Structure 1
Amino acid sequence: MNYILDDGIAVISLDDGKANAVSISFVELLNSYLDQAEQEASAVIITGRTGMFCAGFDLKAFQQGAEVADKLVAGGMAMLTRLYEFPLPVIAACDGHAIGMGAFLLMASDNRIGANSDFQICLPETSISMPFTPVLLALIHDRISIAEKTMAVVQSKRYSPAESIAAGFLDKLVDQNSLMEEAKNLAKDLSALPKEYYCMNKRSLRKASLECMHADLK
C-alpha cells in the first residue's frame, strides 16, 4: 500500500503484488493513511492495480485461531464504518477484481469509478459459507439495488464492470487509460464543496445506517 499527496488529493494505492487481501496490517496501514489524509488532503482516492482492486479478507488469518480472526473482522468492520462516514470525499478507482471486502470498500466510498476492462465484482459469502455482519448488511441495504439484492447477496453472483453499475457496486465506467485522470478530476470538483457541510450532510444522509454500524462495533 502506498500514499501520495497529489495537488491536495490523497491517493491510496493498494498493491501487494498479489490479491491485496485485507489483513490486520492492511487495516492498520489504511487507517494511518486516512489519519494523514484528514490532516492534509481535501479528498481521497482509493485504487488498486490493473487486474486487482482487492480480493477480500486474508483467509490465512482465519486459520490462525479465533483471536486473530475476531481481531481482523472487528478491524475490517471499523475500517468500513470509518470510510462510510469519512469527512472528506472518498472516491474508489477500480480497474480489477473486487471480491468480498474489496466490493465493500467500493460500497463504502462516496463515488465509484470503474475501468471498462475485464474484471469481476462479487460478494462470495454464501458460496464460501460466511455470514454478513450488521456493518456489511447496512452497506448492502444502502448501495445494492433492490432488483439485484438476492442475486448479489444470497446467490454470490459475479458481476462484470458493466453489470456492476445497475447492481450498485459502481457508478460509472471510463476508458482504462483515463481512470485515474477521471478520479482526480472528480476529486478536485468535490474538493470545491464546503468541507464542513459535505461532512455534515453525508453523515445526516447515512445516519440510520451509521447508527447500526456503530452499534455493531461496540
Structure 2
Amino acid sequence: MTEDVTVGRVGFVADIVIHRGPANFFDAEVLCRVADLGEQLSAADGVRIIVLSSAGKHFCAGADFGAGSLADDRDRAAAEIYEHGARLFDLPLPIVAAVQGAAVGGGLGLACAADFRVVSRASRFAANFTALGFHHGFGLSVTLPRIVGHQRALDMLVTAQRVDGTEARRTGLADRLVEPGEEHAGALALAEEIAGQAPLAVRAVKRTLRAELAAEVRAALAHELEEQRRLWRTEDSRIGIAAARTRAEPVFTGR
C-alpha cells in the first residue's frame, strides 16, 4: 500500500507528496508526517527548498470532520491537527505548494502555510467554514489577511465563496499561474529558481519576513479552536455538515 505521505528529491529540491486522493483529506497523522519530513529536510545537507503537493484530482479538502474518528471527537482531533499544522510555520526552508483542483477549508489553510502557491485557472480556493456552520481554523485568521489583505480575507471567510486560480493570482493568493495539469511542474520550476539563489540568504529573508508568524498562528489557533468547539455544538453546524455530505443546500436557523 502506498504511504499516505512520501518524499522525493531532485537536486536541491525536496518534494513532499500527500497520497489520499482524490480529495486528499488530512488528519493529525498526515500532518505529523509532513511536519516530521519538513524538519528532517531542514536539517539535511543539500536541501534548499520544499515543494508540497498532492497526488490526485485535488490539492486538499482539509479534514473530514463528518467521518470516522474525526466525527466521534472533533475537539480532540482538531487540537491534534492544529498542533502538527503549527509546526509547518517553524520550518526554516521555503515551501512552495502545488495547488491543483481544490484547496478547501483546512486545505486552504495548508496552502496558506506555504510561502508560495502555484496554480492554474482550474485551481480553486474556498474558506467554506461558514457554509458548514462553524469558525475557520488552521491559522487562517493570520495567514489569509497577510496574503490577500484584511478586507479580501474577510470577504472570503464570511461568504465561503470559491476563488479560481486566475482570481487567486490577481489578488496575490497565488504566486504563479500555469496551464491546467502543470501545477506540480510549475511548483518545481519555481522551487528550482529559488534554490538557485544563495541558500543562507534565502533562509535569512524568510526568517526576517516571517519571524513572528509562528507565534501569531499558534495564538490564533487557540482562539479558532475555542470558537470551533462552541459552534460545532450548534444546530447550524449539524445542518451545514450534513448538507455538505449530501450536497444539499443548507437552510440555517441561527441556533
- Give the match's secondary structure for 2:130: coil
Quickly say closer, same or farther: Cα 1:163–1:7, change in 2 above 3 A: same
How many residues in Structure 1 have an aligned counterpart in Structure 2? 214
Q: Please tell me whether residue 28 in structure 1 is matched to residue 32 in structure 2.
A: yes
| Counterpart in the other structure of 2:252 | none
Quote how far apart the aligned CAs of 1:113 are.
0.6
Matched position secondary structure for 1:149: helix
- In structure 2, the residue matched to 1:93 is 98
How far did residue 93 of structure 1 move?
0.9
Pairing partner for 2:198 from 194, 198, 208? 194
Question: Is the counterpart of residue 114 in structure 1 residue 119 in structure 2?
Answer: yes
SS in structure 2 opposite 1:29?
A: helix
1:120 and 1:133, CA in 2 relative to 1: closer, same or farther beyond 3 A?
closer
Aligned equivalent of 1:51: 57
User: In structure 1, what is the equivalent of residue 72 of structure 2?
Assistant: 64
Alignment check: 8 A CA contact 2:50 2:94 kept? yes
**Aligned pair partner of 2:78 in 73, 80, 86:** 73
2:169 aligned residue: 165
- The answer on whether the counterparts of 2:23 and 2:56 sit within 8 Å (CA) in structure 1 is no
Structure showing greater radius of gyration is: 2
Aligned-partner Cα distance in 1 for 2:135–2:221: 16
**Consecutive unaligned residues in structure 1, runs of 5 or more:** none
Letter in 2 for 1:104: G
Q: Call closer, same or farther: CA 1:128–1:178 in 2, change over 3 Å.
A: closer
TM-score by length of 2: 0.74
Check whether the contact 1:145–1:168 (CA below 8 A) recurs between aligned residues: no
TM-score, normalising length from structure 1?
A: 0.85
SS across alignment from 1:12: strand
Q: What does 1:35-46 correspond to in 2, within 5 Å?
A: 35-40=39-44, 41-46=47-52
Assess, with a 3 A threshold, how the Cα gap between structure 1 residues 177 and 54 changes in structure 2: closer, same or farther.
Answer: closer
Q: Report the CA distance between 1:50 and its aligned residue.
A: 4.6
Which residue of the partner structure matches residue 235 of structure 2? none
Q: Give unpaired runs (5+ residues) of structure 2.
A: 223-255
Q: Structure 1 residues 143 and 54 mapped into 2: Cα distance closer, same or farther (>3 Å)?
A: same
What's the CA shift for 1:111? 1.2
TM-fit CA distance, 1:57: 1.1
Q: 1:84 to 1:35 in 2, by over 3 A?
A: closer
User: Post-superposition shift, 1:147?
Assistant: 4.7
Aligned to 2:234: none
- Percent identity among equivalent residues? 21
Q: Is the 8 A contact 1:85 1:202 kept in 2?
A: no
Q: Take 2:167 and 2:221, find their aligned partners in 1: how far apart are those partners?
A: 32
- Name the CA distance, whole Å, in 1 between partners of 2:162 and 2:39: 33
Cα deviation, 1:128-179, whole Å, max 9, x if unaligned, reads 1121348321112211234522320111111111122234431221023443
Contact 2:94–2:206 (8 Å) recurs in 1: no
